[in-house]
Amino acid sequence: MEVEMVESAAARKNVGEICVVCEQPGFKGIHLYTSFICTECERDITATDTKDPKYTFIIKQLKKATKPEIYS
Ligand SMILES: [Zn+2]
Q: What distance in angstroms lies between residue 32's CA and the mean position of ligand 1's atoms?
A: 12
- 1 Cα to the center of ligand 1, angstroms: 32
Ion ligand 1 — residues with CB < 5 Å: 19, 21-22, 38, 41
Task: List C-alpha distances in Å: 3 to 9, 10, 13, 18, 38.
Answer: 18, 20, 20, 26, 22
Q: Where are the domains of the chain?
A: 16-66
pLDDT at 69 over 90: no
Q: 15-51: per-residue pLDDT in tens?
A: 789 999 999 999 999 998 888 999 999 999 999 999 9
Residue 65 CA to ligand 1 centre (angstroms)? 12
